[in-house]
Amino acid sequence: MSFEVFVDHRQSSPVITLKDNLTQTSAEIYAFGGILNAFSILIDKKNNNLVAGFNSVSDAVENITNGFKSAKLSPFVCRMNAGKYIWEEESMQIEKWFLGKHAIHGIIYDAVYQIQTTKADDQSASVELYYSYPGNVKGYPFPYLIQVLWKLEKRNKLTVTTTITNASALNIPITDGWHPYFTLGDSVDDYTLQFNSTQQVAFDSELIPTGKLINDERFINGQLMNGIFLDNCFLLDQKSGHPTCILRNKNLQLIIEPTSNYPYMQFYTPDDRKKIAIENLSAAPDAFNNKMGLHILEPQETINFSTTYSAVKL
């Protein structure tokens, strides 16, 4: 077969590799967190990993909260103001990870997923992961099921689809996202970033949305990142169908195409300038409070979120 799936059980939780044997393109998925730890393509006989990942599963377990590399953001994305929100007239207080005084990046980033299915043929390789959140984190007592399907196809195309089902007897608030860091092999200062948005979510001094949008057209036609630092969220323009984000340097480009259920995109450039976080989000930060993109799921209701990464040699 052109495609294969390999499952390595030698670490504390499985490592799954999806591989295209014809092009040597591969994706490495950790059952820990359901995360994408590597997305590698062959350029001039050299393996190029576009994801700034971890050295091992144990490294991920120990350091996932140090930058939240590739973390699943659920049931809330980015920051929640003081970790507090009101649901059905009841005050809720999240007790998980805080950055300063604000809860950050959800509560299941360190969940260990079960492998539900794997599949490989001449067209693609895929793995479907499954986690049942029991409602055991204070401040979010609502059980829900989450399935994550990673699928590698021809032409260096990798798609991740998240399916969330409300397993509670109550309506629940939900948002979803991912927090991968990408690298094209040199400094972020040499990258050009382009994406379909002219509106930035206005933040206060603590990166909490004010509820307003501000005009920002820097990236609509592509912007060299030299000297530009980002920790900002943008509302994507979806009028032309699937909004597209392109990150490129002189050697290659990464194309990110989220579906309409990911209408927001957050960018973060760490001080080392070696990588950039490009986060697909179903809602703005603090959505449990400001309602910007917040979904409400009825009992047994299901919702899907999907995005595609494609790597192209220039």
Say yes or no to pLDDT of 59 above 90: yes
Q: Report residue 9's pLDDT band, with 50, 70 and 90 as the boundaries.
A: very high
- How many angstroms separate the CA atoms of 175 and 169, rounded? 18
Q: What is the pLDDT of residue 163?
A: 98
Say yes or no to pLDDT of 241 above 80: no
- How many angstroms separate the CA atoms of 285 and 288, rounded? 8
Q: Report residue 81's pLDDT band, with 50, 70 and 90 as the boundaries.
A: very high
What's 34's domain CATH number? Answer: 2.70.98.10
Say yes or no to pLDDT of 47 above 80: yes
Identify whether the C-beta of residue 284 lies closer than 8 Å to the C-beta of residue 209. Answer: yes
Q: What is the pLDDT of residue 45?
A: 83
Angle value at C-alpha 76, between 72 and 79, nearest 5 degrees: 100
Domain assignment of residue 96, given as a range: 3-313
> Does residue 264 sit in helix, strand or coil?
strand
Q: Report residue 238's pLDDT band, with 50, 70 and 90 as the boundaries.
A: confident
Over range 111-127, report the average pLDDT.
98
Q: Which residue has the tokens 């959800």?
A: 106
Residue 223's DSSP bridge partners are 193
All residues at 6 or more sequence positions from 256 whose CB lies less than 8 Å from its CB, including other chains:
244, 245, 246, 247, 278, 280, 307, 308, 309
Over range 208-235, report the average pLDDT.
96
Q: Report residue 314's pLDDT band, with 50, 70 and 90 as the boundaries.
A: confident
List pLDDT tens digits, range 270-298. Answer: 999 999 999 999 999 999 999 999 999 99
Q: What is the pLDDT of residue 240?
A: 62
Number of domains forming the structure of the chain:
1
Task: Tell me which of 1-10, 41-50, 133-142, 174-183 is least confident.
Answer: 41-50
Residue 58 sits at φ, ψ, to 5 deg, of -65, -35
Closest to 73 (Cα-Cα) out of 283, 298, 299: 283
Structure pTM? Answer: 0.96
Identify whether the C-beta of residue 231 lies closer than 8 Å to the C-beta of residue 286. Answer: no
Mean pLDDT over each residue of the chain, to the nearest integer: 96
All residues at 6 or more sequence positions from 126 whose CB lies less than 8 Å from its CB, including other chains:
5, 18, 117, 118, 119, 120, 149, 150, 151, 152
Over range 78-100, report the average pLDDT.
97
